[in-house]
Structure 1
């Protein structure tokens, strides 16, 4: 199977200036993390706030530079020490944030030479893919519900046919029934387009539903990494065991089943 993304020993350090009573210091946000994701699969990166998972997401999408390490997209090595996306990488890697805002046609306007009418047609088709209609095209972000905004964010991310979609806490701000709808949409789109996801989350019930592989991060390190069922059924690291024991789990799968039954 083809690896869409592979990271090797990625590190990210931040140098923090000193104050009146404390000298300058270095914060090791990501400490030598390695991973890979095959085409059509989902790697979920899970951990508490401050563990480094969102920093890693921003490195993978080339929003922030890494201090050291290697990153490969579609088998090609990319410069992760560089701050900012190249035009080619912007096409290959897209990100969906927790609270998305932005124009649906903007990716095509910035990254292609397509005329306005063609951009509009493509945007309309993508809206339909995520369960929205043409009447939503010209609305402003504040006119949508949280679930609708997230659907638009997913559509926007897919406009350039990316190789990799990074989802940073994409459903954490939604209520459970809407979470299930968005997760079902992501699963359907992945099946249809053979999409590859890196899914950042602190919600274990969501991770258990959507992931093929799971990486658990703790203070910048990957302390556990493996197939989803193996990690959940037989966690090896003490932190993973503590995290699983302390986190309440909502049954997303049962909510999905009830929604499917209601729609039938």
Structure 2
């Protein structure tokens, strides 16, 4: 009958559309893979000339006395080069973690030493920003197992993010305490900036995610740092999240198991 024929035609059209969607999706995946591969190759090839550039700049003082103006220009150039190298390394590490090609190097860690080391790496930025950095650690924190490099860089990125969004005269707090289950440690970095809009809580962990400022509505990029943090924490079997304290800025916190989660493959 006519009704049955029309029903069959509709079914055939549905199958055709489904096949077309699957084909387009497969092609999109292929193109994204090619793009990511090309990006990784280009970024990887940038490391060698960047390292050579930084090394050359670092040797300049040994080649002769520099004036105050020259030293200032050199410091700016070195800071720019090291920032760019950090971005290159972060992008490479993010790509490795997303593809499962990066392995974690577990060692026994002291949370207090980990935070102290991270703070030392951003002390100049804290001073330049006219900020106060406070440590708030439980006195009886247990040792735990984790990848020192990945977790230290996670803390450095969280501190750097807080420094970036905290106005002069503000306070940043780096804290650590044992989880309620006594099976994990919780690290956090709080600031006294304007806070993060709730709708951006997840977006800030995206690659080059942008969050809207509460003052003026302008967009500000979070770069790759928080993406690295999310992947590094999840690789340890933990979780990272953002929250706001009304009128007191934002807090980024993450937890890691005291004992490694062997089922997590990175």
Name the TM tier (shorter chain): under 0.3
TM-score using structure 2 length = 0.23
Give the structure with the larger helix fraction.
2
* Higher RCO (CA 8 Å, separation ≥ 6 residues): 1
Give the structure with the larger strand fraction.
1
TM-score using structure 1 length = 0.23
Report which of the two structures shows the higher radius of gyration computed on alpha carbons.
2
